[in-house]
Chain A
Amino acid sequence: MRLSTLKTSARRLRTLMLREVRATLRDPFTLFVMITVPLGSLLAFGFIVSTEVHHIRLGVFDGSSSELSRRLVAELSATDTFDPVIFRSRLEVEEAMIGGDVGAAVVFPADFDRARLRGGVGDEAAQIQVFYDGAEPVLAGNAEASLRGIVESALAATAPNAEGAAIVRSNGIHATVRPVFNPTLDGRPYMVAGTFGFVLTFLTTLITAISIVNERLTGTYDQLQLTPATPLEILLGKMVPLGAVFSFDLLLMMLVAGVFLGTWPEGSALLFWLVATFYVATSLALGLVFSATSATAAEAVQKTVLSSIPLIQLSGFIYPVRSMPTVVGWVSQLIPATHFIEVSRAIYLRGEGIVDLWPEILIIVAMGIGLIAMALRTLESRA
C-alpha cells in the first residue's frame, strides 16, 4: 500500500519536473538571462575593487625651480602611479583640483631650496605642500601612501650627505608588511568569490518569483493545483529542475572566473560546488515565498528588488560587515547571503576545508531548511 503511493508520487514528481525543464528551456529569455547575468556580473564586479593606484593625474607647481624639486618631479613621473601635469601658478593647480582634473597636487614654494640649504636652529624647515582630492577617499588614501613613499625615498637618495632624510626614518620603527595569500593584494579574487553569493541569491530568487507569477497569469498554476500533486511535490517539482539548471550555471561561472579572471578556488572546488548548490535551493525557496505571497508579477519583482538592497549592501559583498555599526552587524548575520559569501571567500581565497568551515555551513543548512519549510507552508495554505 505505502509502496504504491510512493510509486505514484515518484511518477507525478517526474512529470512535474519534466514539465518544468521544458518550460524553462522553451523560454529563450530565461536562458539568455541565465547565461549573460552571471557572466556579466563576474566581469563587472571582478574589476571594481583595486588597491593599486596607477596613472593618477598629479598637478605640479614648482615655484622654486631648483635642482632638487625638478629631480623629485622626475622621480614621481618615473613610476606609473602618477602622471605629472605642470602648472604655471598655484591658483591654476587649485582650479584644476576643483575641476577634478587632478587627483593630487604637489607645490614647491619659491623658497624651497633656500630653506633646505639654510641650516640653523629656529628656521622653518623646507616645505613640500601636497594636497589630495578628498572627494575620492579611496583614491586619495592610496595616492597618499605611494606619494609619501616615492618622495621620502627620493629625498634619501638625493640628499648629498644623506643625513637629512635618514633622520626622519631612523627615529621610528620600520615595519615590513607582507600579505599571506594574495601577495599583490589583488582585489579580483575577493570580488569574484563574493559575486557567486550575489548571483546565486538575486538571480535565482528573481527567476523563481517570475516563473510562478507567470504561471499564475497564464492560469497554469491553478490547473496545477487541481492535479493530485501535493504541495510538497509541487515544491520539489519546481526546485529540483531549477536547482539543477543553476547548479550547471554555477559550473559555468567557476570556469569563466578561472579562465578569464584567473581565479580558481584555493580550496576544494567540489566542496564549494556542493555548498553552493545547496545554497541555490535556499534562494529558490525564498523566491517561492515571494511569489506565493504576491498577487502580480510586478509585486513579486518589487519584493525581490527591495530585498536585494540589504543583500548587496549588508551581506559584506562590497563593504565589510566588520566596519558596520554593531547592531547592523547583527542584522547582517541573519541574512543567509552573508554566511554564504563568507564560506565562498574562505574556500576561494584561503583554501579552508570542511574542518574549519562546518559551523558556517551548518548555519546555511539550517537557514535553508527553515526557508524551504516556510515555502512549503505558504504553498499549503494557498492550496
Chain B
Amino acid sequence: MRKKFKGQWYFLIIVLIIYLILLLVNYSAFLVSISFFINLFKKIIPSFLLVFLLLFIIDYFVNSLSITKHFKEKSIRKYIYALIGGTIASGPPYLWYPLLKDLNQKGVSYGVIACFLYCRSIKIPYLPLLIFYFGFKYTLILSIIMLIMSVIQGMIIDKIIKQNI
C-alpha cells in the first residue's frame, strides 16, 4: 500500500518535471496546457466530490462478507449476486484476489469469480465522471451491456473450467 502510495507521488513529480521542462523550452505551449488543466480541474471538482460521497456511503453500509456470502447459490442467482457484489465492491482488484482464492477453495466457481471481476469495472461511485464526459444515455447503455457481458463471461468460463465442487 505504501509502495503504491509512493509510486503515485513519483508519477506526479515526473509529470511536474515535464511541465518544468515545457516552461523552460516553450512558454506559450506551457500556458496553453496549464489553462487547459485549470479548466479541466474546475469542471471535474463537483464530480470528484460526488465520487467521495458515494465511496463513503458504500464503505459504510457494505462489507466484504455481505458481498460474497451468496456466491454459492444455485443456477443464475450466483451470477446475479456476483454482479451486485462486483459493482459495489471497492478498492483495486488485486485486494480481492486473496478473498476470491479462498472462496474458490470453498466451492465458489471460477465463472462467478470472473463475473465478479468483470463487473467490478462498473464502479457506481465513479459513474458521475463517466456521465460528465459521455452523458447519461451512454453511461446507462454501457453499464447494462457490461452487466450482461459479466454474466456471459462467467458462464463461458464455467463451461471451459469445470471444477469438482
Task: State yes or no: do A and B come from one complex.
Answer: no
| Residues in chain B within 8 A of chain A (CB atoms) | none
